[in-house]
Amino acid sequence: MQNSDPSLSDDEIDKRLMILIAEGNEPAFEELIIRHQGAVIGTIAKMMGNRSDSEDIAQQAFIRVWTNAKRYKPQAKFTTWLYTIVKNLVFTASKKRKKRSSSFSIDTEGENRHEMISDEVTQNPQKAAEFSELTQIVDQAILKLPEKQRMAVILKKYEDWSYQEIAETLGVSISSLKSLLFRARTTLKEELSFYLNDPS
């Protein structure tokens, strides 16, 4: 699959890989993991606030992709199906963690393609420190959102998914999704109002 037709869309490539995976093709499975593991781990890290946990959950998600490959219907977009698996695992893990811990911290080790820092920030240590602090504050605020609101915000803000894709993944209507996002943004504005209004 390394020399796939360049005219194929990402989803078409994923669907071809899934056909092979359903037949037990391990190299196709490895390629699928390479294609999606970075985004999956990044999304889970935003949801859970811990990179080591995120890697464990991502591994579980891909194991489920392998074991359920024959159930995948090519009519559905692959990433929607994949992130539905991710959502279910994250929500389960999140409920378990609520019983054990009331505070979270963002582990920013390793590559994080969600964090896009301008040249001005990277060249100015003080601004870099301020940006890092603000990023963690925003991440902490997102972690406090209810699960569906949290995932909707992450998929929209960081993955730039369409309303349709997010709604299908969360199992809600588009109007319900927009309501979720509105409530989430309202909560985040209130949570971050001090920082947003800080003149310094």
Q: What is the predicted pLDDT for the residue at 2?
A: 52
Q: Which residues contact 87 (CB under 8 A, 6 or more apart)?
A: 151, 169, 170
At 78, the amino acid letter reads F
DSSP 8-class letter at 165: H
Q: What are phi and psi of 95, to 5 degrees?
A: -65, -40
Nearest CA among 84, 55, 60, 64 for reference residue 18: 64
Q: What is the predicted pLDDT for the residue at 110?
A: 37
Q: What is the predicted pLDDT for the residue at 97?
A: 66
The pair of structure tokens assigned to 81 is 């199906």
Q: What is the predicted pLDDT for the residue at 125?
A: 64
Q: Which residues contact 154 (CB under 8 A, 6 or more apart)?
A: 43, 46, 47, 142
Q: What is the predicted pLDDT for the residue at 76?
A: 82
Q: What is the predicted pLDDT for the residue at 111?
A: 39
Instruction: Give per-residue pLDDT as tens, 99-153.
Output: 554 444 444 333 343 444 444 444 566 666 665 677 788 888 898 999 999 999 9
Q: What is the predicted pLDDT for the residue at 140?
A: 86
At 195, the amino acid letter reads Y
At 69, the amino acid letter reads A
pLDDT tens for the chain, 200 residues long, are: 554 567 889 999 999 999 999 999 999 999 999 999 999 999 999 998 877 789 999 999 999 999 999 999 888 899 999 999 999 999 998 877 665 544 444 443 333 434 444 444 445 666 666 656 777 888 888 989 999 999 999 999 888 999 999 999 999 999 999 999 999 999 999 888 877 665 44
Q: Which domains, ranges and CATH numbers included, belong to the chain? A: 7-101 (1.10.1740.10), 123-200 (1.10.10.10)
Q: What is the predicted pLDDT for the residue at 197?
A: 63
